[in-house]
Amino acid sequence: MSREQRGPNEKLGTVLALAGISNAGLARRVNDLGSQRGLTLRYDKTSVARWVSKGMVPQGAAPHLIAAAIGQKLGRPVPLHEIGLADADPAPEVGLSFPRDIGAAVKSATELYRLDLAGRRGTSGGIWQSLAGSFAVSAYATPASRWLITPADSSVERTAEQARQIAESAPAGEKPLRVGHSDVQKLREAAHDARRWDSKYGGGDWRSSMVPECLRVEAAPLLLGTYSDEVGRALFGATAELTRLAGWMAFDTGQQEAAQRYYIQALRLARAAADVPLGGYVLASMSLQATYRGFGDEGVDLAQAALERNRGLATARTMSFFHLVEARAQARAGDAHAAGGALKSAEGWLERSRDGDNDPSWLGFYSYDRFAADAAECYRDLKAPRQVRRFTEQALSSPTEEFVRSHGLRLVVSAVAELESGNLDACCAQGLRAVEVAGRISSARTTEYVRDLLHRLEAHGDEPQVIELRERARPLLVAPA
């Protein structure tokens, strides 16, 4: 459905020309973005022509998807007014700000928690209507620079008077709470459980979806309560962990816009907690997302920001992980020398780590197996199959039921390496194992890895083993993400 404006939409036509997108190209991009969000859209070049020449305004989520599609091509956020669609349903930029003031930071985070970020897939509601724009790596620039300049707030104590002032604008029925360490401990336990479920079942598992609910129901009222500086730091740290987890789960299920907003708020909360390693961990998560989306250079910047602020502060294992994330970004950016140097640093720091080190709880997933798995992905991006095979064999040497998703991803990377080495049978054998694992979890990222493998196998599409793999993967690829 569309409604008509007066005359052509010259703004949309101008921006399309600037981005170099044809009418058919925009229709395809909008349909693809809608499909990723569970929407069935059937726009074509005629639809776009009507938007431009007759000023028709598409309804529902379409205006925001148009802005997102153009923004992806331009590499920056595109507001609705720039493309002449400001008359579409308004959508606040909730979660994208990184306030300097601690009170404003609490407001920004709690506003995000109250939104229906999970959305109602297949409908016109949810995040796609509530939030404007799409993933834009440039949105990370201000949060990263402000965190680098000031990685810790001077004080986060909230008095009864401050709490009362906030309570006046809070939803009806919410009373300021007196927060203690026991409240914070409950959030930490929730984060621990969520990390375990996410690794084992994927970000789309129903248990993982409880994290946004925990933030809305449990964390938000605590942030709006009263607390000493000591308790407040701990509260902000625990909430930052949960918020980063919500972002990671959204990232794993393909909800890049939601993930970006959670990550930005997690970084702001980590600053309030005065927890520099945790802030670095959030930046590393941002880096991995940027790298996954194809922004290798920006991924390098984010990883190096985490490293720079944590020199002399973080444990050896933490520094190793930050260097590993940098290596992933360097490899995606195509810099083999820099990627190799970052991997060498990551391995060196990991060798220096000891069991008695005071490593943060959120780093419990990181071991030599994880280092080897990411090293393999670095060499996959650098098209060095021999190195991919070497590191993948190490990564797969001790599979565990605790990290099911990671095991599935490693199998796909191994399959790609076998294919590039000319071993079609071995490639398909690993692919079948990966499909079996992917069928047990809910992870759009894992499904996308399988889809990429099948795309690489198209040249061998008539081979019996490829046909079998494609058939086994069909239920996975047609299931809703």
Task: Quickly state the pLDDT bin for 205 (edges 50, 70, 90).
Answer: low
If asked whether residues 349 and 417 sit together in one domain, one would say no
- Determine, yes or no, domain membership for 65: yes
Last-in-domain residue among 242, 274, 306: 274
Where does residue 379 rank: exposed (0-12), middle (13-18), buried (19+ CB within 10 A)?
buried
Where does residue 40 rank: exposed (0-12), middle (13-18), buried (19+ CB within 10 A)?
exposed
Identify the three-state secondary structure at position 178.
Answer: strand
If asked whether residues 97 and 245 sit together in one domain, one would say yes
- Determine, yes or no, domain membership for 11: yes
Task: Quickly state the pLDDT bin for 302 (edges 50, 70, 90).
Answer: very high
pLDDT score at 132: 42
pLDDT (mean) for 63-81: 85
pLDDT score at 36: 64
If asked whether residues 299 and 333 sit together in one domain, one would say yes
- Beta carbons of 93 and 132 less than 8 angstroms apart: yes
State how far the Cα of 166 lies from the Cα of 224, in Å rounded to an integer: 7
If asked whether residues 182 and 214 sit together in one domain, one would say yes
The whole domain housing 74 covers: 2-83
Query: Which has the minimum average pLDDT: 91-100, 182-191, 297-306, 398-407?
Result: 398-407
Pairing label, strands 2-4, 56-58: antiparallel
pLDDT score at 119: 44
- Determine, yes or no, domain membership for 377: no
- Beta carbons of 96 and 136 less than 8 angstroms apart: no
pLDDT (mean) for 63-89: 82
If asked whether residues 76 and 159 sit together in one domain, one would say no
If asked whether residues 223 and 180 sit together in one domain, one would say yes
> In the chain, pLDDT over 90 holds for what percent of residues?
61
Residue range 381-428, pLDDT digits in tens: 999 999 999 999 888 887 666 778 888 898 999 999 899 889 999 999
If asked whether residues 249 and 284 sit together in one domain, one would say no
Mean pLDDT (the chain) is 87
If asked whether residues 149 and 189 sit together in one domain, one would say yes
If asked whether residues 362 and 463 sit together in one domain, one would say no
If asked whether residues 149 and 204 sit together in one domain, one would say yes
Q: Structural domain tally of the chain? A: 4
Whether the pLDDT of residue 449 is over 80: the answer is yes
- Determine, yes or no, domain membership for 392: no
If asked whether residues 61 and 193 sit together in one domain, one would say no
Task: Quickly state the pLDDT bin for 32 (edges 50, 70, 90).
Answer: confident
Whether the pLDDT of residue 481 is over 50: the answer is no
Last-in-domain residue among 240, 274, 308: 274
Query: 34: domain CATH number?
Result: 1.10.260
pLDDT (mean) for 98-127: 72
Last-in-domain residue among 239, 274, 309: 274
Strand partners, 158: 227
pLDDT score at 206: 47
pLDDT score at 438: 84
Closest CA to 292 of 247, 256, 246: 256
pLDDT (mean) for 172-177: 66
Whether the pLDDT of residue 192 is over 60: the answer is yes
pLDDT score at 208: 54
Task: Quickly state the pLDDT bin for 126 (edges 50, 70, 90).
Answer: very low
Strand partners, 227: 158
Whether the pLDDT of residue 314 is over 50: the answer is yes
Structure tokens at 275: 């927890």
pLDDT score at 291: 96
pLDDT score at 77: 77
pLDDT score at 88: 58
- Determine, yes or no, domain membership for 66: yes
Query: Which has the minimum average pLDDT: 162-176, 357-371, 404-418, 421-435?
Result: 162-176
Residue with the larger pLDDT of the pair 476 and 268: 268
pLDDT score at 61: 73
pLDDT score at 1: 44
pLDDT (mean) for 219-242: 96
- Determine, yes or no, domain membership for 119: yes
> In the chain, pLDDT over 70 holds for what percent of residues?
87
- Determine, yes or no, domain membership for 383: no
If asked whether residues 473 and 444 sit together in one domain, one would say yes
Most confident of 57-61, 126-130, 222-226, 477-481: 222-226
pLDDT (mean) for 9-32: 92
- Determine, yes or no, domain membership for 302: yes
pLDDT score at 207: 52
